[in-house]
Amino acid sequence: MAIATLPVKGGVVHRLGTLFHSGTAQRARYHSHHPRGGEERRTATFSSRSNINGMSICHASAAGSAAMEIEHVDFGERSYPIYIGKDILDQGELLRKHIPGKTALIVTNETIAPLYLDRCVKAITEDGRIKADVVILPDGEEYKSVHVLSQIWDKALECRLDRRTTFVALGGGVVGDMTGFAAASYQRGVNFIQVPTTVMAQVDSSVGGKTGVNHPLGKNMIGAFYQPQCVLIDTASLDTLPDRELASGISEIIKYGLIRDAELFVWLEENMDRLLARDPEAFTYAIQRSCANKAEVVAEDEKEGGVRATLNLGHTFGHAIEAAAGYGTWLHGEAVGTGIIMASDMSKRLGWISSELDERIKKLIIKARLPTTPPEEM
């Protein structure tokens, strides 16, 4: 069933009812502060029901460099940071301190490699301690298979990489999911790092440890829960993202606004044009807020036994659309956007949400330039 009710403190909240249950929604307090250099920045600190993850702010030490934001995912001894900032891929120490051994395997695809591979290799190897090998996969959801995944294992074995190696996922959600699963299974588990380069990966798939590949009978049905050592989000990578990919990722930001963050939903209604125009400040805020929401959910429920199921809003219908159309025909976020509208319509019919909220959801999906109806063949 695509829509469910989940118990929360103080009662029951419908998955699409966050806007009408403001007492359970995550709150944000806005303030301005002056980082080094006197430039005023608008940031947010978060308070949550479980009080697990507070947004902490730190600044790059180099004079004149932009601020870097850090969110933490709390898994006890397996906790890890999410670094968010512009051009932070060039701050190699952020990656190297999470690589305990002397080798790394960078996994990317044919689209991302010409854009960011050299910078990633330099960041990892420039101090001379770590040797990096590379495997370049074909680009596209249709290649998210065990057959293509074997190229990662093949390269690792050819290079005789041991258990102290680290796999580095440089790319979007497909690369991240496949690299994570390869790391989870290579020699029964090696470290891995996420360096997401798409909106979809930055706000959702790189955080939380879901890894895997598709099967002809179902999307993401072969995989594992396996957490990275860190996530490094260089927001400058969005400058090279095609418009269609950009819009696709925004569907996941909308999802957070519906399932737990009413104020984010309202902000999206007012600022969608800024996101589509790639406004750096707007995107940094949206990524931060999304990561804070995702971090809190997965820290509370790592393996989807309860509240994490809310993160699947729109995905039940969306996965059906992807499978019916053929993997790669629809982008994942496009299918999720349509899936959210279908879930919203179903919720309205069941009396779980109002017609007013259903209409606001449809308007926001349209404003994000996402498709609103499934393929005609369905």
Burial 103-113 (b: 16+ CB within 10 A, else e): bbbbbbbebbb
Backbone angles phi, psi at 188, to 5 degrees: 65, 20
User: Has residue 330 been placed in a domain?
Assistant: yes
Residue 275: closest CA among 245, 294, 240, 250 = 250
208 lies in the same domain as 253: no
Domain total of the chain = 2
233 lies in the same domain as 251: no
> Domain end: 208, 237, 266, which one?
237
212 lies in the same domain as 357: no
Angle, nearest 10°, between helix axes 262-276 and 243-259? 170
Burial 127-157 (b: 16+ CB within 10 A, else e): eeebebbbbbbebebebbbeebbebbeebbe
CATH number (domain holding residue 277): 1.20.1090.10
- Alpha-carbon distance of 82 to 111, in angstroms, equals 24
> Domain end: 213, 237, 261, which one?
237
Q: Which positions are catalytic?
A: 188, 210, 252, 294, 304, 308, 312, 315, 319, 332
253 lies in the same domain as 302: yes
Radius of gyration, CA atoms only, the chain: 20
The structure tokens listed for 126 are: 């420039």
115 lies in the same domain as 249: no
148 lies in the same domain as 91: yes
> Domain end: 237, 266, 296, which one?
237
User: Has residue 3 been placed in a domain?
Assistant: no
Angle, nearest 10°, between helix axes 355-367 and 262-276? 30
280 lies in the same domain as 360: yes
User: Has residue 194 been placed in a domain?
Assistant: yes
User: Has residue 133 been placed in a domain?
Assistant: yes
pLDDT at 47: 31
187 lies in the same domain as 173: yes
Q: Which residues are paired to 44 by β-bridges? A: 30
Q: Where does the chain have alpha helices with state H?
A: 93-96, 118-125, 146-158, 173-185, 199-200, 243-259, 262-276, 280-300, 315-325, 332-349, 355-367
264, 256 contact by CB (below 8 A): yes
User: Has residue 272 been placed in a domain?
Assistant: yes
pLDDT per residue, tens digit, the chain (378 aa), is 333 333 333 322 334 444 433 333 333 332 333 332 333 333 333 333 333 233 332 333 333 345 789 999 999 889 999 999 999 999 999 999 999 999 999 999 999 999 999 999 999 999 999 999 999 999 999 999 999 999 999 999 999 999 999 999 999 999 999 999 999 999 999 999 999 999 999 999 999 999 999 998 888 999 999 999 999 999 999 999 999 999 999 999 999 999 999 999 999 999 999 999 999 999 999 999 999 999 999 999 999 999 999 999 999 999 999 988 888 899 999 999 999 999 999 999 999 999 999 999 999 999 999 999 998 877
177 lies in the same domain as 258: no
pLDDT at 66: 56
pLDDT at 375: 86
- Alpha-carbon distance of 271 to 279, in angstroms, equals 10
User: Has residue 156 been placed in a domain?
Assistant: yes
Within 13 Å, how many C-alpha atoms sit on residue 86's CB side? Answer: 15
233 lies in the same domain as 256: no
Query: 95 is in which domain, residue-wise?
Result: 68-237
pTM for this model (two decimals): 0.81
User: Has residue 314 been placed in a domain?
Assistant: yes
CATH number (domain holding residue 130): 3.40.50.1970
116 lies in the same domain as 140: yes
In this structure, the number of other CB atoms found within 10 A of the CB of residue 126 comes to 13
pLDDT at 267: 97
